[in-house]
């Protein structure tokens, strides 16, 4: 982020700080209705395996309280709600009302009521007290946050002592040869798929660009430690297309 110009990246474009939130909102307002279909098409269904592995490593138990930040259409919320049971609670939180509405409707349609709450909140100023959650997750959402350092500090704040943060996010591909193929797919195929399936080429162009602008694995790990986490580590999946970062508050 440029402190002197007060601008920040929106994909490959520099925009004023106060514009990024509005532009990201526009992207997700546009894609909300087709978000699940596009996830399946973009990743050839592999996103479900990434999320499943995240859930398995979470260690969530009955009675736990979980924050699913940038929870969108609720893939993680659904799984966690089943695991925490009636004595637990899952909060699906997102800055985008359209995404929360889609997620809420999906949970209701699948009969998941009673232990799920829905909140519209900014990751940089979470609407929860200190030490509220046993686990916090943010899947494919951190790269869209304007001030990632502030968001990480907020996630640390709302975790209980002994709590864990899990960040599932696109990251830096580890193989140079594969990176070339991945770039071709991201910038030549993905936007066209967005145009055909969602009639929205521009939003998927932004999503591809936002992945490249996101901090790499080691940088994000250090950002987590700088935000206060006592321990941080990451696991690469599919040659670093995605990385699962984990941080603990002791």
Q: Which residues are annotated as a binding site for S-adenosyl-L-methionine?
A: 73, 94, 122-123
In whole angstroms, what is the distance from residue 143 CA to residue 10 CA?
Answer: 10
In whole angstroms, what is the distance from residue 81 CA to residue 168 CA?
Answer: 18
Q: How many CB atoms lie within 10 A of CB 86?
A: 10
In whole angstroms, what is the distance from residue 64 CA to residue 90 CA?
Answer: 8
Phi-psi region of 45 (alpha: psi -120 to 50; beta: other; left: phi over 0): left
Which stretch of DSSP H or E encloses residue 94? Answer: strand 89-94
Q: How far lies 27's CA from each of 30, 56, 87, 96, 140, in Å?
A: 5, 30, 36, 10, 14
Q: How many CB atoms lie within 10 A of CB 101?
A: 15
| Cβ neighbours of residue 184 closer than 8 Å, sequence gap 6 or more | none
- The annotated binding site is made up of 73, 94, 122-123
């Amino acid at each position: 982020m440029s402190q002197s110009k007060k601008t920040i990246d929106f994909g490959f474009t520099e925009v004023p700080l106060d514009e990024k939130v509005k532009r990201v909102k526009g992207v997700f307002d546009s894609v909300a209705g087709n978000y699940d279909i596009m996830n399946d098409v973009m990743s050839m269904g592999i996103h479900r395996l990434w999320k499943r592995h995240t859930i398995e490593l979470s260690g969530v138990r009955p009675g736990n309280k979980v924050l699913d930040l940038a929870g969108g259409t609720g893939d993680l919320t659904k799984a966690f709600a089943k695991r925490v049971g009636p004595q637990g609670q899952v909060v699906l939180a997102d800055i985008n009302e359209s995404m929360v509405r889609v997620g809420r409707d999906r949970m209701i349609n699948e009969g998941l009521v009673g232990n799920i709450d829905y909140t519209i909140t900014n990751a940089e100023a979470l609407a929860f007290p200190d030490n509220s959650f046993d686990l916090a997750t943010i899947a494919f959402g951190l790269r869209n946050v304007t001030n990632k350092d502030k968001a990480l500090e907020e996630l640390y704040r709302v975790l209980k002592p002994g709590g864990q943060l899990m960040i599932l996010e696109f990251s830096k591909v580890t193989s140079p040869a594969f990176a070339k193929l991945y770039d071709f797919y991201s910038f030549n195929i993905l936007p066209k798929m967005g145009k055909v399936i969602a009639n929205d080429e521009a939003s998927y162009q932004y999503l591809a660009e936002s992945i490249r602008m996101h901090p790499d694995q080691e940088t994000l790990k250090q950002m987590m430690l700088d935000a206060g986490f006592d321990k941080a580590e990451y696991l690469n999946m599919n040659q670093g297309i995605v990385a699962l970062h984990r941080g603990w508050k002791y």
